[in-house]
Structure 1
Amino acid sequence: MQIPFQKFQGLGNDFVILEARDLPFDLDLSRLAQKLCNRHFGIGADGLLICHRESRGDARMQVINSDGSEPEMCGNGLRCFVRYLAGHEDQSFLIETGAGLLKAEFSQKKQSIRVNMGKPVLSPAKIPALGWNETPVVSAPLQVENHSFEITLVSMGNPHCVIEVDQNWSSADTLYWGPLLEMHPAFPERINIEFTQFLTPHLARVSVWERGAGATLACGTGACATLVAGVLQNKLETEAVIQLPGGDLTLFWDQNQDQVWMDGPAQRVFTGSYEEEGMIR
Structure 2
Amino acid sequence: MRIMSAIHFYKYQGTGNDFVIMDNRKGEYNFLTEEQVKFLCDRRFGVGADGLMLLNTQEGYDFGMKYYNADGRESSMCGNGGRCLVAFARQMGLKNEKLSFLAVDGPHEATLKGDSWVNLKMQDVNGVEIGSLYSYLNTGSPHFVKFVDDVQAVDVYTEGRGIRYNDRFSKEGTNVNFVQPLEQGIFVRTYERGVEDETYSCGTGVTAAALMTAGPEQKEYVIPVQTLGGNLEVRFTKTGERSYNNIWLCGPATLVFEGNITLP
Common fold: TM-score over 0.5: yes
How big is each residue's C-alpha offset from its partner over 1:189-245, in whole Å with a ceiling of 9 and x where there is no partner?
110011000123x410111111111210001111110011122688xx821101110
Shift in Å, 1:116: 0.6
Q: Partner of 1:226 in structure 2?
A: 209
Q: Percent identity?
A: 30
Question: 119, 134, 152: which one pairs with 2:124?
Answer: 119
Alpha-carbon separation, structure 2, partners of 1:170 and 1:112? 30
Match of 1:71, SS state, is coil
| Letter of the structure 1 residue corresponding to residue 193 of structure 2 | R
Question: Do the aligned partners of 1:153 and 1:229 also contact (CA within 8 Å) in 2?
Answer: no
Map of 1:151 onto structure 2: 134
Aligned CA distance change for structure 1 residues 25 and 71 (closer, same or farther; 3 Å)? closer
One of 156, 159, 162 as aligned partner of 1:174 = 156
Greater shift, 74-83 or 187-196, is seen at 187-196
How far is 1:70 from its partner? Answer: 2.1
Whole-Å Cα distance in 2 between the matches of residues 182 and 121 of structure 1? 23
- Structure 1's unaligned 5+ residue stretches are 123-135, 142-149
TM-score, with length taken from structure 2 = 0.87
Confirm or deny that 1:32 pairs with 2:14: no
Alpha-carbon shift at residue 55 of structure 1 (Å): 3.8
Distance change in 2, residues 1:95/1:85 (3 Å): same
- Report the AA paired with residue 164 of structure 1: F
What's the TM-score, normalizing by structure 1? Answer: 0.82
1:137 to 115, 129, 134: 129
Instruction: State the partner residue of 2:223.
Output: 240
SS where residue 271 of structure 1 aligns? strand
Name the counterpart of 1:42. Answer: 46
Aligned-pair distance for 1:71? Answer: 1.8
Q: Aligned-pair distance for 1:179?
A: 1.0
1:16-65 Cα distance to aligned partner (Å, 9 max, x none): 0013336354431x212210011110001110001111344111111101
Q: Distance in 2 between matches of 1:46 and 1:272?
A: 18
Match of 1:131 in 2: none
Match of 1:133 in 2: none
Tell me if the contact between 2:174 and 2:192 (Cα under 8 Å) persists in the aligned partners: yes
Q: Residue 8 of structure 1 aligns with which residue?
A: 12
> Would you say 1:92 and 2:101 are equivalent positions?
no
Unaligned 5+ runs, structure 2: none
Aligned residues: 250
Residue in 2 aligned with 1:145? Answer: none
Q: Which moved more, 1:174-183 or 1:35-44?
A: 174-183
Amino acid corresponding to residue 17 of structure 2 in structure 1: N
Cα separation, 2, equivalents of 1:233 and 1:186: 29
Q: Judging changes above 3 Å, is the alpha-carbon distance between structure 1 residues 49 and 268 closer, same or farther for their aligned structure 2 residues?
A: same
